[in-house]
Amino acid sequence: MRTNFKYRGLAFGVAASAAILAACGGGGDDDGDGGGTGTLSVSMTDAPACGFDHVFVTVDKIRVHTSANAEDGAGGWAEIDVNPSRRIDLLSLQNGTLTKLGQTVLPAGEYQQIRLVLDRNTGNALANSVVPSGGGAEQPLDTPSATQSGYKIIRPFTVQRDTLVDLVLDFDACRSIVQRGNGSYALKPVVTAVPLVVSGAIQGHVSPAQAGATVYAQQNGVTIKGTLADSNGAFTLSPLLRSSDAGNYSVVVVQNDRATGVIRNVPVTAQTTTTVSSSAAPITLPASPMRRITGSVLPASAQAFVQAKQTVGGSPIEVAVANANFDTGAYQLNVPAAAPLVGTYQPTLPIALAADTAAAGKYTVTATSITGATLSTDRDVSAADATANFQF
């Protein structure tokens, strides 16, 4: 359900079909073309960020247009003006927490384009910035195009007469921040858009000793939603499109020095929550040695995204991700050497997990360039670190 869109060298991922968004408009016979008005409401949430304590962006406005080809200065734009501009710490929006950006009344009809416009950094006033983990100082986050024309999303959605289209923009900060050779940071946004009316949630617990673990909802090795287990080990993955529209999900638990945990075939029902574990019977993962997969993706202008995946139960799961350095193409992935623990969803808890020994230490490393081209290679890190270089 994630589609990547390119705009001035920046990747922007969106997951929402026109049919689903049309359904979000509610009942009635109006197809959106018979006049009148409806309302578009937009909120924001976030997935975990790798290696950062804070990721700040300042939203100025959201613009929509009925034409996919409309330029910045064209007529016909409608706006949600975020006034005053909102400086948001994306990492505070975990476990289904939403922040509303605003709403606007629009003429009923089909819209093709959304643009997210951010404020610019001015002098020492950092509208957009990051704070690296481990006590690092706040550093500016470069946002090419975002402070002028905005990040561009091409995806149809329908506003029906007298109804509300309620969308959540879900930033994936881990995939959105790229380091340059001089140590500075740039934003290459990856965002999903999910209509709340056809979405549900997955919740569960990891053991308290695994508080802070990263938990993902994935489909066919693609991360749809991620969050961090809280101090009690609780986690919520929301919003997620219902399974009748998107298919079932795999819940993947990843933590440093632990084996990976996977619960497959987890269903999601609109406006309900599916539970995969409880505080009395949490997901508990054994210790594991960690390995490094390092290398480079050249040329650096490929602006590649690198993933390490394992095959469990015949299906891929994503264990680690990293953006290659903008200037050097270098990357590093940290992965467990131990066998992943895998189970299949059942309503009755607990769900039994068993080691998939055939998958222990075996990864497929894939580099995806900004053009969408991919290169893959297999690596076995059971006994030692590995290197994987790519040349586009």
Domain extent listing, the chain: 3-189, 290-338+359-391
Residue 289, pLDDT score: 97
- Residue 24: pLDDT above 50? no
Which residues have CB under 8 Å from 269's CB, separation 6+? Answer: 200, 242, 243
Could you give the residue ranges of the DSSP H alpha helices within 207-265? 243-246
**Least confident range of 3-12, 66-75, 161-170, 321-330:** 3-12
Give the separation between CA 312 and CA 334, rounded to whole angstroms. 19
**Average pLDDT in the 329-333 region?**
95
SS3 360: coil
Ramachandran angles phi, psi of 300, nearest 5°: -60, -25
- Write the pLDDT tens digit of every residue in 140-150: 998 876 556 77
- Write the pLDDT tens digit of every residue in 212-244: 899 999 999 988 888 889 999 999 998 888 888
Angle at 134 between CA 53 and CA 388, to 5 degrees: 90
Using the structure block, give the residue that is written with the tokens 């809280």. 230
Using the structure block, give the residue that is written with the tokens 């895998």. 342
Is residue 22 within a helix (H) or strand (E), and if so which, with residue range?
helix 18-23
Residue 153, pLDDT score: 67
Residue 267, pLDDT score: 97
Q: Are strands 10-14 and 164-172 parallel, antiparallel or unpaired?
A: unpaired
- Write the pLDDT tens digit of every residue in 128-180: 999 988 777 899 998 876 556 777 766 677 888 888 888 777 777 778 888 88
Using the structure block, give the residue that is written with the tokens 């359900």. 1
Q: Please give the class, per CATH, of domain 290-338+359-391.
A: mainly beta
Give the separation between CA 375 and CA 272, rounded to whole angstroms. 39
Give the separation between CA 274 and CA 199, rounded to whole angstroms. 12
Q: Which amino acid is at 162?
A: D
HSE value, Cβ hemisphere, 13 Å, CA-based, for 272: 9
Give the separation between CA 251 and CA 36, rounded to whole angstroms. 42
Give the separation between CA 79 and CA 99, rounded to whole angstroms. 18
8 A C-beta contact, residue 306 and residue 324: yes
Q: Whose CA is closest to 237, among 94, 373, 29?
A: 94
